[in-house]
Chains A and B, each alone.
Chain A
Amino acid sequence: MSEYELVIGLETHIQLNTVTKIFCACKADSWEMEPNTNICPVCAGLPGVLPVLNEEVLRKGVLLAYAMHSEIRNVSFFDRKNYFYPDLPKGYQITQYDMSLGNGGYMDLFIPEDAGATRRVSITKLHLEEDAGKTKNAGSERLIDFNRCGVPLIEMVTGPDLRSAAEAAQYLTRLRQLLRWLGVSEADMEKGHLRCDANVSIRPVGSTQLFTKTEIKNVNSIENVRSAIELEYERQVREVEAGNRIQAWTLDWDDEKNELKKMRSKETEADYRYFREPDLLPVRLSDEWIQAVLADFPELPLHRKQRFLTDYHLTEYDADLLTTDRQLSEYFESAVKVYGGDPKKIANYLMNDVLRMLNESGKSAADTRLTPQYLADIVKMADAGKINASTAKNLLVKVEASGQAPNEIVAAEGLGQVRDDAAIRAVVEKVIAGNPKEVEAYRAGKESLIGWFTGQVMREMRGKADPKLAQEILKEILGS
């Protein structure tokens, strides 16, 4: 099978996380709302209504277009795509056709199998449009929910540039990261914020021709996109090897059975009779306006990762992890700045403890109560020996829970590390007196028991003792 190469293009629909819909004042997000409770005459397409463009949609569109290296057109247009379907209340979708907001563009991917090499995935379409409603069959009835009508979408289509299921998955992972990074979409595939159709064909390795493709629809996770493409690759290879021609089918991903089902064969392209939407003015974006939108355009994840590698000497793995999420990376940098010491230490705390805490609470790095300042304070206290490592870890949880400053908690709860020789000595003597058998064994040569003794002392002192000092005193007294 290895003599066939996969050729994949991805068509994504990205739901923008604006407050209101694209052409009316209804809320954009109607997740878990009762059907048809988040609609108005405009999004329900009643006779006589008119669309009015939500400017926020343009801002988010410009951010994404810029991130995708797409040319942002100063003048773009909305068009009508005409077709009949019950969940499309106007009988046409307002979309952008030939003069869309973004023109061209690309995303560079690292090829997993070939370290250092990149694949440039071209963007052939980047346009704004309104979402349609949802249709559900219930027995002989067809139910329509218009809540989703008019939710702002960006449709983004790649060229046939991806060469493996893993690359397709990576593209989606990178895209999802980017959408969240830019704050333009929640990008949750399960909730349909990010939808993906895959166009898949195969060809003999070495060929540059494009062969008949099939279109895979309704895949709701990145993992499933990968599986669906792999399955379709195998099917197409089997067909070709058996001497059959690939038909231009549309395939539906069955989430429960993890398999592809044929939805329909595509005979001819539908004619949507596109024409300019006369109810909306041309979208005119001045350079000044675009510059203002891009004024606080963030450093993108890949750049930030590179910078973390060089500026902070992190490992590849650490830098990658710390830049998965924009808030996390910003948290890291602020903590490093306040801390002033070895960034690696902050990174360790973040990756070993803080991330786990955040995962458990479901909070983002931006809204944790353990601020970068507090984290830096805790690490500094540990560095200075004011608290020991386990106290430091407990402190993270306590600060997050209470929102109190770490030094206040240390003072109030007496968590400061005990380095008082006499105090430790008293406890050591108590432990030795209480464990004659172990003392005998130690003195008989079982020196490995020193760890056990140290543990006992630490427990007696509720973890506050300086463990090194405790051990020294133990050795001194046991050895005498």
Chain B
Amino acid sequence: MTMQLCDTPAHELSILLRKKKISAKEIVESCLERVAAVDGRPGSLDPGENSSQDNQSVHAMITLTAEKALAQAKGLDDKVARGEPLGSLAGVPFTVKDIFCVKDTLTTAASRMLANFRAPYTATTVERMLAQDGLMIGKVNLDEYTFGSSNESTAFQPAPRNPWDTNRVPGGSSGGSAASVAAGEAAISLGTDTAGSIRQPAAFCGVVGIKPTYGRVSRYGLIAFASSLDCPGPLARNVTDAAMLLKAIAGPDRQDATAVTKAVPDYVGVLDQGVKGLRIGLSEDYFKIVYMDAETGEMLQKPVPDEVRAAVYHAAEILKAQGAEIIEDVPMPNTRYAIPAFFVISRVEAASNLHRFDGAKYGYRTAQPKRDLREMYQATRNEAFGLQPKLRILMGMYVSAAQYSEQYYSRALKVRTLIRRDFENVFDPGSSYHLDALLTPTTPTTAFEMGAVYGDSVLMQYADQFTVTANHAGIPGMTFPAGLGADGLPLGVQLLGPDFSEPILLRMGRVFEEGTQAEAWRLQKPQVLRGLA
């Protein structure tokens, strides 16, 4: 199979377009063809039963914006013809997680609540991607309101499937983003990460994903899950493309008070600076999952599978060979409390963030005639929210109630501080470890089967155990593909670094990418692409 435009890396597309070897129209058409070939029907509220064809399709899309993309391509091609300066994402096809507002485009949050909502404004991140001449192919599926780690909770069914094995989940909540990029429907995608929602699906789908430092990328226009944890970030098929996208979206925003004013480094320019002398830690606390027995409340632990550990050690070897120093047995003792603390903090914020969806102003409103306002609210929210929002509201309301808040919410915030301290203790240049990054598995397992974990939101959450710590601490994390498991599914490895260390993490990722170019697993293609001509 020859390399098609839709499978071509973003940075190469951009060069080819500038050299007038290809047109933006050709790029968009290639992506639309790919969508037609592998994506199957887009998600909808009334999907009926899945056909066997459905079960073999990716279903990344909620809203394909083909016409807009073609119109945009036309505009870009005219620009090229006139010799005008082009943006950094010129000719790069992208998808957007359907949690970002895009003006005059449906913005559903994968919920019945917003199925008819057309945003009157565009999120800062998307605005920047468009301003850099990126080409928006469509808005992709996610867990309802981003609440999940498998993408199965979307109200828009059929839910996305993993392009490597359509019986497996793509992960979540940015499942549509990861699946669309892995399947070549677009070169890059904009996702969000609240506990691992970029990194976990990226790992499951064999792509690169970055959760930037909190505040590095504006949240304006991102429909909030847990405002203190949410981070928009890139998904891409390689490190360079991820760096390109991060460069385009990062930076201060006067619409977001939590967006930092620090200058944005040239993430692409630093990629080839190598890892010589960089100190990379490995921690046993990231090679086991610790969870609570639902019956007894006892804390149990389980080591990650050998192949997961092996993938991390393999990455360490590659980096070491290029001059990095590997430090083992780095203590990260509070990692085990990250999930329970996340449970509490995220749900308090989520319950509050979901208050505005009441049927009064936009989105869904119950069709039943109601005697009073309160009944209208109740019916609307009962009919339009799926299981996951409801669970989050219930728990969020409970743990923030005046009589419980101290016991749960305040304690969770203290735990959060301790998790942050774990990182400071090993990243601080004055500390004995003075690490530049921590290397860990991204997820405890490869992608699980559709339906296997869904409904058990506690167990589901433990898929995020290694990723959620970065959200608590506000630090950046990056996942990159590091091999295939025995089941033939991608294994992801994660780097965690101090605040604003994205350039260092990208350099490490790039070194690993180059060092493993010749490895056999690199030649493997996702299942849905194998049969394509």
Instruction: For B356, list chain A residues within 8 Å (CB).
Output: 45, 47, 89-91
Is B222 an interface residue, CB under 8 A from the partner? yes
Distance in Å from the Cβ of A291 to the closest Cβ of chain B?
Answer: 24
Distance in Å from the Cβ of A191 to the closest Cβ of chain B?
Answer: 26
Interface centre among B107, B258, B409 (most CB of A within 10 A): B258
Is B36 an interface residue, CB under 8 A from the partner? no
Is B95 an interface residue, CB under 8 A from the partner? no
Chain B window 71-103, contacts with chain A (Cβ cutoff 8 Å), 1 for yes, 0 for no:
000000000000000000000000000001100
Q: Name the contact of B362 in the complex, choosing from A46, A90, A273, A278 (C-beta under 8 A).
A: A46
Is A271 an interface residue, CB under 8 A from the partner? yes
- Give the CA-CA distance A47 to B116 in the complex, in Å: 13
Q: Are A48 and B377 in contact (CB under 8 A)?
A: no
- In residues 364-422 of chain B, which contact A (Cβ within 8 Å)? 373-374, 377, 397, 400-402, 405, 409
Is A159 an interface residue, CB under 8 A from the partner? no
- Give the CA-CA distance A142 to B114 in the complex, in Å: 23
Q: Are A82 and B361 in contact (CB under 8 A)?
A: no
- Give the CA-CA distance A353 to B409 in the complex, in Å: 65
Residue of B nearest to A40 (CB): B121
Instruction: For A53, list chain B residues within 8 Å (CB).
Output: 257
Please choose the segment from B347-355, B445-453, B520-528 that sits at the chain A interface, where 4 or more of its residues have CB less than 8 A away. B347-355
Is B491 an interface residue, CB under 8 A from the partner? no
Residue of B nearest to A83 (CB): B355
Is A469 an interface residue, CB under 8 A from the partner? no
Is B477 an interface residue, CB under 8 A from the partner? no
Is A192 an interface residue, CB under 8 A from the partner? no
Is A211 an interface residue, CB under 8 A from the partner? no
Instruction: For B354, list chain A residues within 8 Å (CB).
Output: 91
Residue of A nearest to B109 (CB): A47
Residue of A nearest to B403 (CB): A271
Q: Are B402 and A271 in contact (CB under 8 A)?
A: yes
Q: Are B352 and A51 in contact (CB under 8 A)?
A: no
Q: Are B355 and A90 in contact (CB under 8 A)?
A: yes
**CB-CB under 8 A for A275 and B400, given A48-B100, A52-B254, A280-B257:** yes
Is A381 an interface residue, CB under 8 A from the partner? no
Is A351 an interface residue, CB under 8 A from the partner? no
Instruction: For B123, list chain A residues within 8 Å (CB).
Output: 48
Q: Are B255 and A273 in contact (CB under 8 A)?
A: no
Residue of B nearest to A85 (CB): B373
Q: Are B358 and A91 in contact (CB under 8 A)?
A: yes
Please choose the segment from B223-231, B331-339, B426-434, B500-508 that sits at the chain A interface, where 4 or more of its residues have CB less than 8 A away. B223-231
Is A298 an interface residue, CB under 8 A from the partner? no
Is B219 an interface residue, CB under 8 A from the partner? yes
Instruction: For B226, list chain A residues within 8 Å (CB).
Output: 278
Q: Are B220 and A47 in contact (CB under 8 A)?
A: no
Q: Are A275 and B352 in contact (CB under 8 A)?
A: yes
Instruction: For A47, list chain B residues within 8 Å (CB).
Output: 101, 107, 109, 114, 117, 119, 223, 356-357, 362
Instruction: For B405, list chain A residues within 8 Å (CB).
Output: 273, 275
Instruction: For B107, list chain A residues within 8 Å (CB).
Output: 47-48
Distance in Å from the Cβ of A96 to the closest Cβ of chain B?
Answer: 15
Is A467 an interface residue, CB under 8 A from the partner? no
Instruction: For A280, list chain B residues within 8 Å (CB).
Output: 257-258
Q: Are B409 and A275 in contact (CB under 8 A)?
A: yes
Chain B window 460-475, contacts with chain A (Cβ cutoff 8 Å), 1 for yes, 0 for no:
0000000000000000
- Give the CA-CA distance A87 to B237 in the complex, in Å: 46
Is A92 an interface residue, CB under 8 A from the partner? yes
- Give the CA-CA distance A86 to B377 in the complex, in Å: 10
Q: Are A91 and B352 in contact (CB under 8 A)?
A: yes
Is B184 an interface residue, CB under 8 A from the partner? no
Q: Are A50 and B373 in contact (CB under 8 A)?
A: no
Is A204 an interface residue, CB under 8 A from the partner? no
Is A80 an interface residue, CB under 8 A from the partner? yes
Residue of A nearest to B374 (CB): A84
Is B221 an interface residue, CB under 8 A from the partner? yes
Instruction: For B223, list chain A residues within 8 Å (CB).
Output: 47-48
Is A49 an interface residue, CB under 8 A from the partner? yes
Is B297 an interface residue, CB under 8 A from the partner? no
Q: Name the contact of A92 in the complex, choosing from B119, B254, B257, B355 (C-beta under 8 A).
A: B355
- Give the CA-CA distance A44 to B120 in the complex, in Å: 12
Is A41 an interface residue, CB under 8 A from the partner? yes
- Give the CA-CA distance A223 to B409 in the complex, in Å: 46
Q: Are A92 and B373 in contact (CB under 8 A)?
A: no
Interface centre among B349, B356, B377, B402 (most CB of A within 10 A): B356
Distance in Å from the Cβ of B381 to the closest Cβ of chain A?
Answer: 10
- Give the CA-CA distance A275 to B361 in the complex, in Å: 25
**CB-CB under 8 A for A50 and B360, given A279-B258, A281-B258:** no
- Give the CA-CA distance A373 to B255 in the complex, in Å: 48
Is A144 an interface residue, CB under 8 A from the partner? yes
- Give the CA-CA distance A47 to B110 in the complex, in Å: 13
Instruction: For A52, list chain B residues within 8 Å (CB).
Output: 254-257
- Give the CA-CA distance A47 to B354 in the complex, in Å: 9
- Give the CA-CA distance A90 to B227 in the complex, in Å: 14
Q: Name the contact of B402 in the complex, choosing from A42, A50, A90, A273 (C-beta under 8 A).
A: A273
**CB-CB under 8 A for A82 and B409, given A47-B109, A48-B222, A279-B258:** no
- Give the CA-CA distance A278 to B231 in the complex, in Å: 13
Instruction: For B397, list chain A residues within 8 Å (CB).
Output: 273
Instruction: For B409, list chain A residues within 8 Å (CB).
Output: 275
Distance in Å from the Cβ of B423 to the closest Cβ of chain A?
Answer: 20
Q: Are B120 and A41 in contact (CB under 8 A)?
A: yes
Instruction: For A144, list chain B residues within 8 Å (CB).
Output: 360
- Give the CA-CA distance A44 to B349 in the complex, in Å: 19
Instruction: For A42, list chain B residues within 8 Å (CB).
Output: 255
Chain A window 42-69, contacts with chain B (Cβ cutoff 8 Å), 1 for yes, 0 for no:
1011111111110000000000000000
Q: Are B219 and A50 in contact (CB under 8 A)?
A: yes
Instruction: For B224, list chain A residues within 8 Å (CB).
Output: 48, 279
Q: Are A44 and B119 in contact (CB under 8 A)?
A: no
Instruction: For B358, list chain A residues within 8 Å (CB).
Output: 84, 86, 91
- Give the CA-CA distance A45 to B120 in the complex, in Å: 12
Residue of A nearest to B355 (CB): A91
- Give the CA-CA distance A52 to B220 in the complex, in Å: 11
- Give the CA-CA distance A82 to B409 in the complex, in Å: 15
Instruction: For A86, list chain B residues within 8 Å (CB).
Output: 358, 360, 373
**CB-CB under 8 A for A273 and B352, given A47-B223, A142-B373:** yes
Instruction: For B101, list chain A residues within 8 Å (CB).
Output: 46-48
Q: Are B114 and A51 in contact (CB under 8 A)?
A: no
- Give the CA-CA distance A257 to B205 in the complex, in Å: 71
Q: Are B377 and A50 in contact (CB under 8 A)?
A: no
Instruction: For A273, list chain B residues within 8 Å (CB).
Output: 348, 351-352, 397, 400-402, 405
Residue of A nearest to B361 (CB): A89
Instruction: For B221, list chain A residues within 8 Å (CB).
Output: 48-49
Interface centre among B114, B355, B357, B402 (most CB of A within 10 A): B355
Distance in Å from the Cβ of B80 to the closest Cβ of chain A?
Answer: 33
Chain B window 226-270, contacts with chain A (Cβ cutoff 8 Å), 1 for yes, 0 for no:
111000000000000000000000000011111000000000000
Q: Are B352 and A46 in contact (CB under 8 A)?
A: no
Distance in Å from the Cβ of A220 to the closest Cβ of chain B?
Answer: 25
Q: Name the contact of A84 in the complex, choosing from B120, B121, B254, B355 (C-beta under 8 A).
A: B355
Instruction: For A89, list chain B residues within 8 Å (CB).
Output: 356, 361
Residue of A nearest to B377 (CB): A84
Add 13 more A-B contacts to A48-B119, A275-B349 (CB < 8 A): A42-B255, A48-B100, A49-B221, A82-B351, A82-B400, A90-B356, A91-B356, A142-B373, A273-B401, A273-B405, A278-B227, A279-B257, A281-B258
Q: Which A residues are within 8 Å of any B CB, using their own CB?
A: 41-42, 44-53, 80, 82, 84, 86, 89-92, 142, 144, 271, 273, 275, 278-281
A-B contact pairs, 6 of them (CB 8 A): A44-B361, A49-B220, A52-B256, A82-B352, A91-B356, A273-B400
Which 7 pairs, one residue from A and one from B, show the smallest C-beta to C-beta distance? Answer: A91-B355, A278-B228, A278-B227, A273-B400, A47-B223, A48-B221, A91-B356
